[in-house]
Amino acid sequence: MYDHIRSGLKTWYAKQGRDLPWRGVGDPYKVWLSEIILQQTRVAQGTPYYFAFTKAFPTVKDLAMASEQEVLNLWQGLGYYSRARNLHAAAKYVVEELNGVFPSTYKDLLKMKGVGDYTASAIASIIFDEPKAVIDGNVFRVIARLFLVDDNIADAKTRPVFAAIANELLDKENPGDFNQAMMDFGALQCAPKPMCANCPVQEYCMAYKEGKQQQLPVKVKNLKRTKRYFHYFHLADRRGTWLRERVGKDIWKGLYELPLIESEDEKFPSHRLAELNLPGSEDDFPVLFKKVHKLSHRDIIGTFYKAESPSHLEGYQLVSHKEFDRYPVSRLIDEYFHSQEMPKPPSLFG
Ligand code: SF4
C-alpha cells in the first residue's frame, strides 16, 4: 500500500505542485528564510516578506550584519517576533561560528536558534537529500486520513506515531520533493475540506472508506486563554511622537510602542494617568481605536486614546515624524495608525 500511495502522490505533485519562489533555488539560506517566515504564516501572506528579506539581505552574511532593528522593521506585520530575533541570531551564528558555511545535516541544522525538527528536516531533505520526513499541519492531516489515525495532534506525545508513518512513506531516493509533495497535497487536495472525488490515492484512503475524512485529524487543545488590557496613549505634537522600546521577557520584545498603561481590566485607568504626566479625567481622552489582538495563548485588548503631548515623559523617547518609520511596532499599533489613516509618519503633525 505504501508504494501505491507514494507513487500516486509523486505523480500528483509533478502535475499540481505549487510553483513557489524558494523552490529549486538550491540555496539553504533561502530555503531556511522561507521556512522561518512560513511558520504560523500562510504562503500568500509570507511570500512578500520572503522577497523583501532576500532583496535586503541576499546572503546570510548580509542578514548577520544587519541591526536587530532593521530585521524587526522588515518583519513588521508578520507577528511572532521571536522568529525574527532567532533568525538574526542564527545568521550571526552561521557567520561568526561556522565561517559563513550553512550547516548541511539535520543534526547540525538543529543547533541554529529557532530551527526545530520541522525546519531542520525541510532544509536537510530539500537541499541535502537527507531522508528526513517533514511533519507540518498539512502532513498531519494527510496521514491521519490515509491511515485513519485518530490520536490528538495537539498532544506532543502523538508526534512519534505520525513521524513513524511519515518516515515509512517517505521516498528515500528523493526526500525533498516527496516532502514538498506531501505538504502541497495537504494544502491543496487533502485540505481541511478535502477534494476526495478526484483524489489520486482515494482507493487507499482509510478515512474515505469509512466516511471519516471530516473528523480527522483530531485536534483538541487544552489551552486556557488569558486576557491583558493595554491602554495606549498617542501623544504627539510637532516635535514628534513618544515611543519606547519593549524590553524584558514579555511579548513584542524589541518593538516600539506608544505610552502604555497596562491594567487589570477594560476600565479607563483614571487613577494612573500621572504615570504618563497626563492631566485631566476620562472625558478628556476619547477612544480612537479598540481591538482585541489574538496571540496563541492570550488576548490583548488594546484601547487607543489621543492626548496632548507632555513636555517630558520618563522612560520614553520623542521620535521625530521623519524618523518614525524606522521604528518597528507591533501589528496592533500598526493597525491603530492605519485606522487613523496615518500609516507612515503621522502626517497630521508633520
Ligand atoms: Fe484526503 Fe479524501 Fe484523498 Fe483521503 S480521499 S487522501 S481524505 S482527499
Residue pLDDT, tens place only, 188-203 = 999 999 999 999 999 9
Rg (the chain; Cα; Å): 24
Atom of ligand 1 nearest to the CA of 202: 5
Give strand pairing partners of 260: 232
What pTM, to 2 d.p., does this model score?
0.71
Residue 308 exposed, middle or buried by CB count within 10 Å (0-12, 13-18, 19+): exposed
- Any residues with Cβ below 6 Å from ligand 1, and which? 145-146, 189-190, 194-196, 199, 201-202, 205, 207-208, 213
pLDDT tens digits, one per residue of 138-178: 999 999 999 999 999 988 888 999 999 999 999 999 999 99
Closest residue CA from atom 7 of ligand 1: 213
Q: Which atom of ligand 1 is nearest to the CA of 194?
A: 8
Q: What is the pLDDT of residues 214-245, one digit of tens each?
A: 999 998 876 678 899 999 999 988 889 999 99
Give the pLDDT band of residue 343 (cuts 50, 70, 90): low
pLDDT 10s digits, 45-100: 999 999 999 999 999 999 999 999 999 999 998 888 889 999 999 999 999 999 99
Cβ atoms 300, 266 nearer than 8 A: no
Going by alpha carbons, the residue nearest to atom 2 of ligand 1 is: 196
Prior bond to 217 cis, omega within 30? Answer: yes
Best of 165, 208, 216 for a ligand 1 pocket test (most atoms within 8 Å of beta carbon): 208
- From the CA of 185, how far away is ligand 1's center (Å)? 9
Query: Which of 73, 347, 77 has its CA nearest to residue 236?
Result: 347
Do residues 190 and 208 lie in contact, with contact meaning Cβ atoms separated by under 8 Å? no
Q: For residue 187, is pLDDT > 90?
A: yes
Cα 121 to ligand 1 centre (Å): 25
201 CA from centroid of ligand 1 (Å): 7
Pocket test for ligand 1, best of 140, 147, 201, 212 (most atoms within 8 A of CB): 201
Contacts of 73 (CB under 8 A, 6+ apart): 326, 327, 328
Each residue's pLDDT tens digit, 248-307 = 778 898 899 999 999 999 899 999 998 998 988 888 898 999 999 988 788 999 999 988
CA-proximal residue: ligand 1, atom 1 (nearest)? 190
Distance between CA atoms of 322 and 235, rounded to whole angstroms? 16
Model confidence at 346: pLDDT above 50 = no
CA distances from 237 to 245, 278, 279, 320, 333 (A): 20, 14, 16, 9, 18
Task: List, by residue number, the catalytic residues.
Answer: 35
The amino acid present at 131, given as its one-letter code, is P
Q: How far is the CA of 144 from the centre of ligand 1 (A)?
A: 10
Choosing from 190, 206, 216 the residue with most ligand 1 atoms within 8 A of its CB, the one to mutate for a pocket test is 190
Q: How confident is the model at residue 347 (pLDDT cuts 50, 70, 90)?
A: very low
Write down how long the chain is. 350
CA dist list (Å): 7 to 11, 47, 166, 167 = 6, 29, 14, 15
Q: How far is the CA of 124 from the centre of ligand 1 (A)?
A: 28
Handedness of CA 204, 195, 162, 115 (dihedral sign): positive
Whether 170 and 3 have beta carbons less than 8 Å apart is answered as no
Calculate how far, in angstroms, residue 170's C-alpha sits from the geometric centre of ligand 1: 18
Q: Is the dihedral of CA 245, 246, 252, 257 positive or negative?
A: negative
Counting atoms of ligand 1 from 1, which one is nearest the CA of 195?
8
pLDDT 10s digits, 87-96: 999 999 999 9
* Residue with cell string 523583501: 52
Closest CA to 328 of 78, 36, 37: 78
Residue 223: per-residue pLDDT:
62
CB contact at 8 A, 254 and 72: yes
| Residue 4 CA, ligand 1 centroid: distance in Å | 14
C-alpha grid cell, residue 326: 524606522
Mutate to test the pocket of ligand 1, among 196, 206, 214, 215 (most ligand atoms within 8 A of CB): 196
Supply the residue whose CA is at minimum distance from atom 4 of ligand 1.
Answer: 205
